[in-house]
């Protein structure tokens, strides 16, 4: 999701990364604080003072976001859920969990840890602002601390909205999951709440734009768009995880596939194998030995008038490791292999013998089918 994120440091074995989009947001926050918010709450200061206040507030806000995500991560790790990294982007941060929490109770605690941290920070900055006021420190310091208290409160409340994948939505999912024992259904319902919330937020954003409140309007549109995107993505990911849980390549591959011999002409290959059996990816086999494969991409590079005189032998792709998968490979591993290599079609082999063929289309067809049939495969909740 965050391919462009840059790692800035490592804290307690967590990689802390910043997505380039966050720099834009940091600039926007600094600008609106120094030009609008601070001049409004504390008139009569020089632009330089406002700028310093804004930068200090922005950096502490950055730190607060980080602590929010660290709270999620520390709790997750304490329950054995591995954390890849913490990435700051747009409005907030994302702790990238390598796996979903195993039980509803764990998910509930991981989700709640962030908002609890933000509430604690809001309270802490509020107390600090009070102390600083009592000892008559300069007004800019008081205002920065008050702002930080306010923004952490906003952050806590916003994240508690029961809209998946916000923290509140995760709490909702944990509750539904706990009640029904069906994590996928719980994700589906929670993702719907996320979608509704996203549309409401975007509608408010549009209304704000029409009223002339450009910054607030764009902000709401941006966050709404993100929640919408993330809600859809999370359900899809969960559907895939659930559907493919425990499945291996063996169970979804086409066994005993149509093959081509090396002496076959391309004309015969196209007419007698590809068109007749509606396949675009054909293993090349001679005397039971797998030599490689040939597909429509190769044929596309050869003039049609030469198809009758060209043999499979002349053009096929020889066996290479990246095109082979084992039949006992978990489908989830195949999915990440596809994502990593961009390859979509594979020969299934065990010790050089061809067992079958599996393609991305096989996986998506199975996924669509099981969704249509109402998720025949569901994760049994572990307790």
Residues near Zn ion (CB under 5 A) are 114, 159, 167
Which CB, 34 or 159, lies closer to Zn ion?
Answer: 159
Q: CB under 8 Å, gap of 24 or more: what pairs does 98-106 form?
A: 100/183, 100/238, 100/241, 101/76, 102/382, 103/381, 103/382, 103/383, 104/174, 104/175, 104/177, 104/178, 104/183, 104/381, 105/174, 105/178, 106/76, 106/79, 106/81
Closest distance to Zn ion from the beta carbon of 269 (Å): 55
Told to judge if 96 belongs to the known catalytic residues of this protein, a careful annotator would answer: no
If 0-12 CB within 10 Å is exposed, 13-18 middle and 19+ buried, where does residue 200 land?
A: middle
CA atoms of 271 and 255, how far apart (whole Å): 21
Inter-CA distances, 174 with 64, 226, 321, Å: 25, 22, 42
Select which of 69, 96, 143, 188 is catalytic.
69
314 is in an annotated binding site: no
72 is in an annotated binding site: yes
Closest distance to Zn ion from the beta carbon of 113 (Å): 8
Closest distance to Zn ion from the beta carbon of 129 (Å): 24
CB 243 within 8 A of CB 366: yes
Which CB, 163 or 269, lies closer to Zn ion?
Answer: 163
- Which residue has the closest beta carbon to Zn ion? 114
CA atoms of 332 and 183, how far apart (whole Å): 18
Which CB, 107 or 362, lies closer to Zn ion?
Answer: 107
Closest distance to Zn ion from the beta carbon of 167 (Å): 4
Which CB, 67 or 141, lies closer to Zn ion?
Answer: 67
303 is in an annotated binding site: no
Residues serving a catalytic function are 69
Residues flagged as binding site for Zn(2+): 68, 72, 167
């Amino acid at each position: 999701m965050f391919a462009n994120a840059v790692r800035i440091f490592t804290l307690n074995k967590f990689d802390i990364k910043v997505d380039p989009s966050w720099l834009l947001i940091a600039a926007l926050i600094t600008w609106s604080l120094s030009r609008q918010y601070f001049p409004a709450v504390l008139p009569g200061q020089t632009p330089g003072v406002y700028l310093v206040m804004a930068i200090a507030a922005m950096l502490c806000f950055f730190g607060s976001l980080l602590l929010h995500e660290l709270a999620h991560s520390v709790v997750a790790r304490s329950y054995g859920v591995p954390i890849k990294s913490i990435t700051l982007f747009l409005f907030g941060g994302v702790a990238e969990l390598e796996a979903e929490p195993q039980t509803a109770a764990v998910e509930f605690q991981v989700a709640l840890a962030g908002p609890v941290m933000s509430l604690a920070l809001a309270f802490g900055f509020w107390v600090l602002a009070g102390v600083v006021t009592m000892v008559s420190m300069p007004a800019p310091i008081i205002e920065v601390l008050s702002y930080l208290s306010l923004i952490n409160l906003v952050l806590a409340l916003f994240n508690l909205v029961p809209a998946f994948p916000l923290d509140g939505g995760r709490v909702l999912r944990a509750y539904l999951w706990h009640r029904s024992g069906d994590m996928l259904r719980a994700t589906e319902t929670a993702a719907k709440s996320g979608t509704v919330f996203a549309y409401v937020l975007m509608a408010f954003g549009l209304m704000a734009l029409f009223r002339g409140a450009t910054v607030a309007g764009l902000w709401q549109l941006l966050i709404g768009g993100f929640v919408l995107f993330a809600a859809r993505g999370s359900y899809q990911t969960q559907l895939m995880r659930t559907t493919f849980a425990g499945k291996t390549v063996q169970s979804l591959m086409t066994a005993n596939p149509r093959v081509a011999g090396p002496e076959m002409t391309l004309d015969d290959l196209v007419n007698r194998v590809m068109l007749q059996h509606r396949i675009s990816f054909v293993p090349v086999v001679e005397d039971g030995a797998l030599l490689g494969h040939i597909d429509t991409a190769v044929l596309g590079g050869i003039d049609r008038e030469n198809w009758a005189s060209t043999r499979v032998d002349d053009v096929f792709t020889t066996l290479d490791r990246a095109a082979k998968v084992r039949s006992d490979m978990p489908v989830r591993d195949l999915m990440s292999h596809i994502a990593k290599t961009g390859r979509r079609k594979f020969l299934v082999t065990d010790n050089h013998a061809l067992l079958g063929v599996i393609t991305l289309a096989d996986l998506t067809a199975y996924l669509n089918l099981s969704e249509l049939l109402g998720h025949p495969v569901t994760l049994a909740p572990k307790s």
